[in-house]
């Protein structure tokens, strides 16, 4: 789970909010060829279950090809049906305990803790594999209710060894601040998929 600095696989890539065409799978394959991605999270909040399952099967093959952990957002049951590598939970989703019952101890479970030291301390006590904090920067991917600062990141890293994913508005101009303060992984989405100047495979090359 820890950051592999030799491979530089420090990116936790999140899907766009919608996957509209088969062109996406070609783009994903090209992005994962960079060997910078450790996790890919399928996050389709408004998609029907049947469609998510179909999309997930295709993505799983691409992730397996590039040795990338395939994570499902919010839905442990879908994660189990797809036999993905794990599931990511929000604070309003299923409990970690119940998710673990569904997925078993060999699967990865992560949880978002926003900017809350209370939520972080509570999550650390449970059976998780990583936690995520943020948003560190302004993001267009989703509405931001919570903002995290570098001081929160420093506080966390001085106390805990659990792998941490930094989230929120991360791009090629601000990511180094987070790595310099020892974030283990960087969650990136909009910069890759919604970039108006660069193709996805070009965008990821800017993050070194």
Domain layout of the chain by residue ranges: 11-205
Average pLDDT, the chain: 93
Q: What local confidence, expressed as pLDDT, does residue 5 receive?
A: 44
The domain defined by 11-205 carries CATH number 3.40.50.1110: no
Question: Which pLDDT value is given to residue 85?
Answer: 98
pLDDT at 13 over 60: yes
Q: Among 31-45, 55-69, 104-118, 131-145, which is the least confidently predicted range?
A: 131-145
Confidence of residue 41 (pLDDT cuts 50, 70, 90): very high
Is residue 160 predicted with pLDDT exceeding 50? yes
Judge whether residue 142 has pLDDT over 80. no
Cβ proximity of 41 and 17 under 8 Å: no
CA 135 to chain centre: 13
8 A C-beta contact, residue 41 and residue 71: yes
Q: Are 24 and 13 in contact (CB under 8 A)?
A: no
**For range 1-21, the mean pLDDT:** 77
Residues 6+ apart with CB under 8 A from 151: none
pLDDT over 90, % of the chain:
88
Q: Is the pLDDT of residue 208 over 50?
A: yes
Q: How much is the CA Rg of the chain, to the nearest whole Å?
A: 16
Mean pLDDT of 177-182: 93
Residue 141: per-residue pLDDT: 60
| Region 130-152 average pLDDT | 82
Residue 29's closest CA among 206, 203, 201? 201
Q: Of residues 171 and 5, which shows the higher confidence score?
A: 171
What pLDDT, on a 0 to 100 scale, did the predictor assign at position 20?
86
Contact 136, 165 (CB under 8 A): no
Position 3 pLDDT exceeds 50: no
Q: In this structure, are residues 201 and 33 in contact, taking their beta carbons and an 8 Å threshold?
A: yes
Q: Global pTM?
A: 0.93
Average pLDDT over residues 21-37: 96
Residue pair 140/173 in contact by the 8 Å Cβ criterion: no
């Amino acid at each position: 789970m820890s950051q592999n600095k030799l491979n530089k696989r420090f990116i936790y890539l999140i899907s766009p909010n919608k996957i509209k065409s088969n062109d996406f799978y070609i783009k994903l394959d090209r992005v994962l060829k960079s060997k910078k991605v450790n996790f890919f999270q399928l996050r389709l909040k408004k998609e029907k279950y049947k469609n998510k399952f179909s999309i997930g099967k295709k993505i799983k093959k691409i992730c397996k090809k590039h040795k990338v952990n395939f994570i499902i957002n919010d839905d442990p049951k879908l994660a189990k049906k797809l036999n993905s590598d794990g599931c990511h939970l929000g604070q309003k989703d299923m409990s970690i305990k119940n998710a673990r019952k569904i997925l078993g101890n060999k699967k990865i479970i992560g949880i978002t803790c926003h900017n809350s030291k209370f939520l972080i301390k509570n999550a650390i006590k449970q059976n998780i594999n990583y936690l995520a904090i943020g948003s560190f920067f302004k993001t267009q991917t989703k509405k931001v209710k919570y903002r995290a600062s570098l001081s929160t990141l420093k506080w966390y890293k001085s106390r805990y060894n659990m792998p941490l994913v930094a989230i929120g508005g991360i791009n090629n101009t601000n990511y180094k601040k987070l790595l310099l303060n020892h974030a283990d992984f960087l969650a990136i989405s909009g910069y890759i998929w919604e970039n108006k100047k660069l193709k996805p495979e070009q965008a990821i090359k800017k993050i070194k």
